[in-house]
Amino acid sequence: MSFKNNRKNENSAVKPWARILALILCILMLGGTVVALIQYFAFGSYAAEISSNQRVRVGLMYGQGVVTSYTLSTDYGFSIGKIEQDSFKSIWKLPNTSITVASDANLNRSGIIYNITGSYNATSVGAYHIEINFGDVLDFQPQYALATEQLSAVTNEVFPAYIAGSYAVRVGNFASIEDAEAFLPLVASVFPGAYVVTPSSTALTVMVSDTGFILFEFDDPTGISALGLYANQQGGSICHLVTPSQKYFEGIFEFKRYINGSRDGVQVVNILSLDQYMNGLLPWEISASWPIEVQKAVAVAARTYALSMLGRHSEFGFDMCNATHCQVYLGTARATEASRRAVAETSGLILTYNGAPAKTYYSAVTGGCTVSVAEAWGGGSNPSYLRAIHTPWEKYTAHSEGEWQTEVTPEQLSNTLRAYGYSEITSPIASARIDKLCQNSTYIYQITFTDEAGNTATITTSDRIRTVLSAYVNSANFVVGRGGENVSVTDFLPNAKYPYATASPTSTSSFAASEGSGTWAATVNGNRQIDGNAVYISGGEGGGVIAGDDLSGVPVATGSGTVSVDIATNGGFAPIDPTSTVTVNNSAYIATLADFPTYQSQRLVLANGKASNFVFVGRGWGHGVGMSQWGAKNLADMGYDFCTILRTYYPGTEITTLR
Please list the residues that pair with 606 across neighbouring strands.
486
pLDDT of residue 49: 59
Tens of pLDDT, residues 325-336: 999 999 999 999
Amino acid 596: pLDDT: 62
Decide if 625 contacts 376 (C-beta within 8 A): yes
pLDDT > 90? residue 243: yes
pLDDT digits (tens, 9 = 90+) for 394-435: 999 988 889 999 999 999 999 999 999 999 999 999 999 999
Q: Say what percent of the chain tops pLDDT 70.
A: 76
Closest CA to 309 of 31, 58, 650: 58
Positions of E strands within 145-190: 158-163, 166-174
The residue type of 267 is Q
**Helix ranges restricted to H, 258-291:** 274-279, 282-285
- Burial letters 137-159, b for 16+ CB under 10 A, else e: eeebeebbeebbeebeeebbbbb
* Whole-Å CA distances, 234 to 14, 75, 640: 18, 9, 41
Number of CB atoms found within 10 A of residue 165's CB: 13
CA distance 286 to 291: 10
d(C-alpha 278, C-alpha 301), whole Å: 10
CA separation for the pair 279, 330 (Å, rounded): 10
Residue 635's pLDDT is 86
3-state DSSP call for residue 275?
Answer: helix
Q: Residue 23: how many CB atoms within 10 A of its CB?
A: 16
Q: Which residues of 419-445 are buried (b: 16+ CB within 10 A; e: fewer)?
A: ebebeebeebbeebeeeebbebbbbbb
Summarize the chain as % helix, strand, coil (round to 5): 20, 35, 45
Instruction: Report pLDDT digits (tens) over 503-553.
Output: 232 222 222 333 333 333 333 333 333 343 334 443 333 333 344 444 444
pTM given for the model: 0.77
Q: What is the DSSP letter of 611?
A: T
Res 38 pLDDT > 50: no
Amino acid at 348: G
Of the two residues 236 and 206, the one the predictor is more confident about is: 206
For residue 63, the SS3 value is helix
Range among 11-25, 315-329, 423-437 with highest mean pLDDT value: 423-437
pLDDT value of position 595: 59
Closest to 620 measured CA to CA, from 298, 290, 327, 364: 364
Could you give the CA distance from residue 480 to residue 490 in angstroms, rounded to a whole number?
A: 13
pLDDT at 593: 57
Task: List all residues 6 or more positions away from 358 whose beta carbon is below 8 Å from its beta carbon.
Answer: 304, 308, 350, 351, 352, 383, 385, 650, 653
* Residue 506, beta-bridge partner list: none
pLDDT at 151 > cutoff 90: yes
Dihedral sign, Cα of residue 460, residue 466, residue 468, residue 472? positive
d(CA 629, CA 637): 12
* DSSP string for 349-377: EEEEETTEE----EESB-SSB---HHHHH
User: Which residue in 556, 558, 539 sits closest to 499, CA to CA?
Assistant: 539
Over residues 55-65, the mean pLDDT reads: 95
What is the pLDDT, as a whole number, of residue 52?
62
Write down the pLDDT at residue 25.
Answer: 32
Beta strands at 69-73 and 349-353: parallel, antiparallel or unpaired? unpaired
- A 10 A CB-CB count for 523 gives 18
Provide the residue type at 521 as one letter: A
pLDDT of residue 493: 86
Work out the mean pLDDT of the chain and round it to a whole number: 82
Return phi, psi of residue 205, to 5°.
Answer: -115, 135
Measured distance CA(492)–CA(39) in Å, rounded: 35
Residue 235 banded pLDDT, cuts 50, 70, 90: confident
E strand intervals along 188-341 = 195-197, 204-208, 214-219, 226-231, 241-242, 248-249, 252-260, 263-273, 320-321
CA 176 vs CA 127, 446, 528: distances in Å: 8, 62, 90
pLDDT in tens, 63-84: 999 999 999 999 999 999 999 9
Looking at 96-110, 176-190, 218-232, 546-560, which range is the least confident one?
Answer: 546-560
Quick one: residue 568, left, alpha or beta (phi over 0 = left, psi -120 to 50 = alpha)? Answer: alpha
Reply yes or no on whether the pLDDT at 115 is more than 70.
Answer: yes
How many CB atoms sit inside 10 A of residue 85's CB?
6
Question: Alpha helix (H) ranges present in 30-95?
Answer: 34-43
Q: What is the predicted pLDDT for the residue at 313?
A: 95
What confidence score (pLDDT) does residue 440 get? 94
Contact (Cβ atoms closer than 8 angstroms) between residue 537 and residue 544: yes
Of the pLDDT bands very low, low, confident and very high (cuts 50, 70, 90), residue 135 is confident
Say how many C-beta atoms besides its own lie within 10 A of residue 269's C-beta.
Answer: 27
Q: How far apart are CA 589 and CA 582, in angstroms?
A: 5
What residues contact 198, with CB distance under 8 A and at least 6 apart?
127, 128, 177
Distance CA 329, CA 349 (A): 19
The residues, ordered by sequence, that sit 6+ positions from 270 with a Cβ below 8 Å of its Cβ are: 57, 58, 60, 249, 251, 252, 253, 254, 322, 329
94 CB-near residues (< 8 Å, 6+ apart): 13, 14, 77, 78, 79, 80, 206, 215, 216
- In this structure, of 106-120, 126-140, 425-439, 622-636, the range with the lowest mean pLDDT score is 126-140
